[in-house]
């Protein structure tokens, strides 16, 4: 088809870093760690930009800056998460398109699908700070929040600090993605340990393992993988930039069943185009993309507000 030929002419080339054995590990386990994928200099750039965003360093109609009179440390202690920071920050957008990260994504995102050509797109960024004393998030699967049509949702979790059991690292249940089953959710009864998000239930937790990693490591995990994080019981931050991606060939029926002109469409054809192609090509480039900027928002650390 001519449309696909046109898309192929704009192919995004990225390096292939993984041997086939590690691709198979991801297919089997649902997660993969890549130490040292982000350099110390790049981590410093991310940390500095976190403060710039929080202090209102980029124009935004929807983002309310932290009080400029506060110290850097107090600014960070306010922040749980900045959603969609890449809409306003060119630095955060650069790390969505980081060549090595996207190279790995081009090998594993939809490696469970025959004939997949390595094309990947991004739809979300979440910049977590997780200061000391702040809660984690109970068991969940990311696919509950961002639906895909082919089980290709994947998170790329960039550790900006060492992530340890003490400061609230990820815990995962290896292989829990394989069935493609979305577990039911309910309110939890542990507000000291976890935030207000609902918890998934109905499975054996005994196989969970901690994913302790050094700063600069990127953890990749499938959207059906059961995972959680616990409260930060240390005196250091657990800063993370986690970006979410999927197979570029799959439509993204996320948050709307209307097209870009506001017309009603069937669920089967719904496709959010507020995306960034990052590897291979965009088969739906003829649809165009939607610019971001209207829903950057900050989740503050209520656990720390009283102490500031």
User: Residue 147: which residues within 8 A CB-CB, separation 6 or more?
Assistant: 153, 252, 253, 254
Higher pLDDT, 195 or 265: 195
CATH number for position 66: 2.60.120.620
What's the total number of domains in the chain? 1
Task: Categorize the per-residue pLDDT at 308 as very low, low, confident or very high, splitting at 50, 70 and 90.
Answer: very low
Q: Are 133 and 285 within 8 A, CB to CB? A: no
State the average pLDDT over residues 124-131: 95
Q: How many helices (H) and strands (E) does the chain have?
A: 7, 13
pLDDT of residue 303 exceeding 90, the answer is no
- Tell me: pLDDT of 85 over 60: yes
- Return the closest-CA partner of residue 274 out of 293, 301, 261: 293
Environment class of residue 102 by beta-carbon count within 10 Å: exposed (0-12), middle (13-18) or buried (19+)? buried
Q: Please give the C-alpha separations between residue 64 and each of 18, 172, 231, 253, 297, in angstroms, as whole numbers.
A: 41, 34, 26, 29, 8
The range of the structural domain enclosing residue 269 comes to 2-305
Q: pLDDT tens for residues 142-156?
A: 999 999 999 999 999
**Under 8 Å between Cβ of 51 and 82:** no
pLDDT in tens, 2-25: 344 444 458 999 999 999 999 999
Beta bridge partners, 219, equal 33, 157
**Residue with the larger pLDDT of the pair 298 and 263:** 298
Question: Given the structure tokens 């109970």, which residue do they identify?
Answer: 138
Pairwise pLDDT comparison (306 vs 162), residue with the higher score: 162
């Amino acid at each position: 088809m001519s449309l696909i030929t046109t898309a192929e002419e704009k192919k995004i080339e990225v390096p292939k870093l993984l041997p086939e054995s590690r691709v198979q590990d991801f297919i089997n386990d649902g997660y993969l760690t890549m130490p040292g994928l982000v350099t110390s200099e790049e981590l410093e750039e991310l940390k500095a930009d976190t403060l710039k965003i929080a202090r209102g360093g980029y124009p935004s109609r929807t983002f309310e800056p932290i009080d400029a009179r506060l110290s850097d440390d107090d600014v960070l202690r306010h922040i749980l998460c900045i959603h969609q920071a890449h809409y306003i920050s060119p630095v955060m957008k650069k790390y969505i398109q980081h060549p090595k990260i996207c190279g790995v994504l081009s090998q594993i995102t939809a490696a469970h699908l025959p004939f997949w050509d390595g094309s990947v797109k991004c739809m979300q960024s979440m910049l977590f700070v997780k200061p000391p004393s702040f809660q984690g998030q109970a068991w969940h699967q990311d696919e509950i929040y961002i639906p895909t049509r082919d089980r290709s949702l994947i998170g790329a979790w960039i550790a900006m600090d060492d992530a340890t059991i003490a400061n609230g690292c990820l815990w995962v249940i290896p292989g829990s993605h394989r069935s493609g089953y979305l577990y039911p959710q309910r309110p939890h009864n542990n507000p000291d340990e976890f935030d207000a998000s609902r918890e998934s239930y109905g499975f054996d937790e005994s196989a969970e393992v901690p994913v302790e990693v050094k700063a600069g490591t990127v953890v990749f995990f499938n959207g059906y993988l059961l995972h959680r994080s616990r409260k930060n019981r240390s005196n250091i931050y657990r800063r993370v930039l986690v970006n979410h991606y999927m197979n570029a060939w799959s439509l993204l029926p996320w948050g709307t069943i209307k097209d870009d002109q506001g017309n009603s469409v069937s669920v089967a054809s719904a496709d959010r185009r507020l995306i960034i192609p990052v590897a291979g090509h965009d088969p739906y480039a003829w649809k165009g993309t939607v610019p971001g900027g209207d829903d950057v928002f900050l989740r503050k650390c209520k656990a720390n507000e009283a102490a500031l």
